[in-house]
Each structure stands twice: as C-alpha cells, then as structure tokens.
C-alpha cells in the first residue's frame, strides 16, 4: 500500500473529566485526529484491562485510557485503582512483546481540551511508529 | 524433614477430633516422582499419609475446590473444619486466600511442614527415564536419596529439585497451627535474574517466543484448575455471556487467555509453580507470572501471601504510586 498507515485508536474516557475534556475540544473547534474512537465509561476505574486486550484483538492499533487527575476522581479513588492496574497490564503486554506504545494512559480534566488534542496526537504518533497490530488480532471477526 | 510416623500420628490425632471433617495430605502415588493428594475422613486413612521430596502438589487448591450442594431442608450445614498439610509455598496460598476472605481462619487447621525442596518430574525423567513404580525420595543434607525400582540412588539436591525451590525464601510455613518437624534454613534470596534475562530480548524476539509458546496451548485450563488462587465459581474465560475469549484455540484467543490469566494473578501469584508443572504442552507459564511478581515487588513494594493483615494489592492503592508512563 502506498497510503500512509492510519492507526485505529480506542479511547476509554471517563464521563466526568476526560469525556468532558474531549467535548470541550470539540465545542471549541479544536481539531483532534480522527483516528480516535471514543468509548465513554463512568470512571477510568471501570475499565477492565480485559477491554484493552479485547480491543487489540478486534482491530485497534492502540488504546488510550483517560481519567481525572489523581485526587479529582468523581468517585474519589477510582483512578488510583486504574493506575495500578494499567501499570501492571502495560508491563505484562511489554513482556509478551506488544509495543508498550499501544497502551496509553492520561489524566485529562474537563477544562483541558487542548491537552486532549495533544494526547491524541501523541497516541496516534506512537501507534504509527508501532505499526499495524498484527500480533494477536482475531482473524475471523464474525465467527 | 518430618518423619512419616510423627506425621501419621499427628494426622490421626487431628482427624479424630470432633470438629474436623476432613484432612488433606499426601499419599504415595502409583508411579513416578509425584505423590498423590489424599483426603481422609476417618482415622484409619492416616496410615497412608507421607511427606517427602515427591510431595509436589499444592494442596491449598483443594480447600476451595469442594462443591457445596444446597443443604436439604431441615438439615444443618456441616461447619466442621478442614485440616490441611502445607509446605512453605503452599502456606502462602492459604494466607492469600485468607486475605481475600475465601474462608475464615477458624475453618481451617493448618499443619505446616518445613520443606527442603521437591522433585521436578521433568528433571527426574531426564535423569532416570520412565519409572514404573512409585519413587521414594528423602532429603539428606545436600543429597536426595531416591529409591527407584528397589535401588537406592544418591543425587545432588540442586540437580533434581524444582527451580522454584532453588530460590525459595519461605521453606518454612508462614502460617501454621502446628509445625511438624524442625524448621529449615532458607535457600537463597530471589534476585529475579531470570526475569532480567528475559527482559533483555527485543520486542520482536519476545513475541516470537510467546507466539510459539501460546500456539501450543490446547486450552485445557489445567493451569487455571490447579491454581490455588483461581477459585472463582464463575470464570471469565468459560463464561458465554459475555464471552470475552472465544473457545477456539488460535493464537489470538490463546494470547488473550494467557494475558488474562497472568493479569488476574498479578500481585496474587505465590509462586508454587503448579501451573507450569501440570501444563501438558510445557508452556513456561511462570515466566509471565514471575515478571508480574517482580514488578509488584519493585513498583509497589508488595509481596503476596506473607501477612494475613495486608490488603490485596489491586484492591488498595497508594496516592504516591509510580506513574511515569501516564501522559
């Protein structure tokens, strides 16, 4: 293919901060890369690391989990649990040879539309470097 | 190491108590280098029990394995205790199950046995070939005396015991109601050199290695069944709705399964090596678990299954946890 590789990014954004941040980026007419597919969850602590594995199986080239800044969680401590989980999951992925750039996490608050724009650009850049995710993608999607 | 007479007498004494329903221990296997698990319910069974270097099984998984059918109307549930024999590594599984409140401390009687290493059947097979009868193996200092087919053979202990025993920090049970036999000294500190060695590989090499290993997997779920920490009644990999992993054994689903299994055991693996021992296709499963154990220790300064008072790793947090990779 002569076309440049455009990665698919699945983003799990928490309802209270990051999703509102992405919304702010949109309403302020900031352009963020269209590679990102946003899934709204109520808290970053709700994201099971299984989602991440599953997303990579089903065609994502990178995953972004984003929540409130530590201490700002709407549910007080959800993002602290998420941080521990994804630190470990990222290391595990790295251990089996998955590019660590495919697993990303960020803290984006509701007022940081510009930061969301930057985060998405960085995630897409990393996924482009890592190339298409072909290690354990499902071969028969509609099986 | 405890001699069998003392062990059997103690077992008889414990199982004779009114408040004890069953005792889980080891008895001589039918062939090869592995003893068989034994559940005895009356004092007559105590004569079969043994402990030596062939007692590899981690019996802690049997406590939670028991099926509990609904009690018929008008009958009281049986609340008598379970007595269990544990080695050092097994006792950590008991501690972690107590931490996770799988059962109450009063529900079990722990008979701890200091252990000086158990035999790796793969190493033994290389050394002795296939063996028809059951093998007896006793530890004498640095030597293992194996009785193979009526013949006594002396082997250096380091050559025959499992890898986990060579880096065992807890040969003495960390929890026990009664300690059988004298305490032994710990062998070595764990420096995680094997993990560091693996981490040196390039991502492509790592994936090439795991691609080959995971492709072998037949998804028999032995590693899950034997694991003392995998005691969920409903398991995410066998659930059909939602079905996170499909049942086909291709590289995609196998990888997803192994990542899930390893992740569910991060901060919970007590390194009894049972998963690797039972694997019919010899996947080095502990290589995944060991990485998690090292990271948990380095990043969160946490060691599972040592203290009953600690909280489970992923059910607790520290506001100062490391977050270098977070944007």
Phi, psi (degrees; rounded to nearest 5) at A53? -60, -45
- DSSP-derived letter for residue A4 is P
Task: Give residue-wise pLDDT tens across range B8-59.
Answer: 999 999 999 999 999 999 998 888 888 999 999 999 989 989 998 889 999 9
Please give the pLDDT value at position B66: 83
Alpha carbon distance B42, B11 (integer Å): 10
Could you list the residue range(s) of the whole structural domain that residue A123 is in?
Answer: 9-130
> What are the distances in angstroms from CA B40 to CA B11, B20, B45, B46, B210?
9, 11, 6, 7, 41
Q: Are strands B36-40 and B20-27 parallel, antiparallel or unpaired?
A: antiparallel
Dist. CA B37–CA A15, nearest whole Å? 51
Burial (CB count <10 Å: 0-12, 13-18, 19+), residue B7: buried
Mark the ranges of chain B whose per-residue pLDDT is less than 70: 1
A36-41, strands of its sheet edge to edge: A36-41, A9-14, A62-67, A103-107
Distance CA(B183)–CA(B84), nearest Å, equals 18
Is A1 among the domain residues? no
pLDDT category, A142, cuts 50, 70, 90?
Answer: low
| Residue A3 resides in a domain | no
Specify the length of chain B in residues: 327
| Burial class of residue A72 in the structure, from the number of CB atoms within 10 Å of its CB (0-12 exposed, 13-18 middle, 19+ buried) | middle
Average pLDDT on A113-139 reads: 91
Token pair belonging to B158: 């380091």
Contact at CB, B263 and A84, closer than 8 angstroms: no
Shortest CA gap A3–chain B (Å) = 25
CA distance A4 to chain B (A): 22
> Alpha-carbon distance A82 to A65, whole Å?
9
Share of chain A above pLDDT 90, in %: 83
pLDDT value for A141: 58
Q: Is A44 inside a domain boundary? A: yes
Helices B251-264, A49-57: crossing angle, 10 deg rounding: 170
So what's the pLDDT on residue A124?
A: 94
- In a domain, residue A141? The reply is no
Does residue A140 belong to any structural domain of this protein? no
Residue in A91, A104, A105 nearest the CB of B291: A91
Token output for A50: 């299984």
**pLDDT by residue (tens digit) across A4-37?**
889 999 999 999 999 999 999 999 999 999 999 9
DSSP B161: B
Tokens of B22: 């069953």
CATH value at residue A18: 3.40.50
- Residue B297, pLDDT score: 92
CB contact under 8 A, A104 and B327: yes
At B216 the pLDDT is: 93
Tell me the per-residue pLDDT of B63-106, one tens digit each, with 9 for 90 and over: 988 888 889 999 888 889 999 999 999 999 999 999 999 999 99
Q: Work out the average pLDDT over A101-121.
A: 93
Q: How many domains does chain A have?
A: 1
* B130 or A48: which leads in pLDDT: A48
Strands (E), chain B: 20-27, 36-40, 49-50, 81-86, 108-112, 136-140, 143-148, 151-156, 178-179
Nearest to A84 among B199, B246, B314 (CB): B314
Question: For A136, which of B255, B323, B327 is closest by C-beta distance?
Answer: B255
The pLDDT of residue A143 is above 60: no
Q: Give B252→chain A minimum CA distance, Å.
A: 4
Q: What is d(CA A139, CA B173) in angstroms, rounded to the nearest whole number? A: 47
Q: Cβ neighbours of residue B207 under 8 Å, at least 6 residues apart? A: A96, A97, A98, A135
Residue B208: predicted pLDDT:
94
Of A1-5, A18-22, A110-114, minimum mean pLDDT range: A1-5
């Amino acid at each position: 293919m002569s076309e440049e590789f455009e990665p698919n990014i699945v983003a799990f954004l928490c309802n209270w901060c990051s999703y509102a941040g992405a919304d702010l980026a949109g309403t302020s007419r900031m352009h963020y890369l269209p590679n990102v597919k946003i899934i709204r969850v109520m808290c970053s602590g709700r994201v099971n690391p299984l989602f991440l594995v599953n997303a990579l199986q089903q065609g994502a080239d990178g995953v972004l989990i984003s929540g409130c800044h530590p201490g700002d969680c709407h549910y007080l401590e959800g993002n602290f649990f998420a941080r521990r989980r994804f630190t470990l999951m990222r290391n595990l992925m790295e251990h089996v040879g998955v590019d660590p750039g495919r697993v990303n996490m960020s803290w984006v608050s509701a007022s940081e539309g510009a930061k969301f724009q930057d985060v998405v650009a960085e995630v897409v850049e990393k996924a482009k470097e890592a190339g298409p995710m072909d290690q354990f993608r499902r071969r028969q999607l509609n099986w | 190491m405890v001699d069998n007479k003392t062990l059997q007498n103690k077992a008889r004494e414990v199982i004779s108590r009114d408040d004890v329903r069953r005792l889980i221990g080891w008895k001589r296997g039918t062939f090869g280098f592995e003893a068989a698990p034994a559940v005895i319910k009356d004092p007559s069974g105590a004569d079969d029990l043994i402990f030596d270097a062939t007692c590899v099984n981690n019996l802690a998984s049997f406590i939670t394995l028991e099926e509990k059918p609904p009690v018929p109307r008008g009958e009281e549930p049986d609340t008598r205790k379970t007595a269990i024999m544990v080695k050092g590594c097994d006792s950590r599984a008991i501690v972690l199950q107590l931490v996770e409140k799988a059962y109450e401390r009063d529900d079990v009687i722990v008979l701890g046995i200091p252990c000086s290493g158990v035999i790796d059947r793969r190493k033994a097979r290389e050394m002795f070939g296939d063996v028809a009868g059951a093998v007896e193996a006793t530890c004498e200092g640095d030597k293992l005396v194996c009785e193979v087919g009526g013949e006594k053979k002396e082997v250096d202990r380091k050559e025959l015991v499992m890898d986990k025993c060579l880096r065992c920090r807890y040969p003495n049970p960390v929890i026990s109601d009664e300690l059988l036999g004298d305490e032994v000294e710990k062998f070595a500190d764990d420096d995680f050199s094997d993990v560091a060695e693996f981490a040196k590989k390039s991502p492509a090499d790592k994936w090439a290695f795991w691609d080959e290993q995971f492709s072998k997997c037949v998804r028999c779920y032995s590693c899950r069944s034997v694991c003392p920490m995998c005691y969920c009644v409903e398991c995410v990999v066998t659930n059909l709705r939602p079905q996170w992993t499909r049942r086909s054994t291709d590289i995609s689903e196998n990888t997803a399964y192994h990542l899930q299994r390893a992740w569910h055991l991060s901060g919970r693996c007590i390194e009894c090596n049972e998963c690797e021992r039972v694997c019919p296709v010899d996947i080095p499963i502990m290589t995944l678990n060991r990485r998690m154990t090292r990271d948990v220790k380095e990043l969160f300064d946490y060691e599972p299954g040592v203290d009953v008072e600690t909280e489970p790793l992923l059910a607790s947090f520290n506001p100062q946890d490391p977050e270098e990779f977070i944007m």
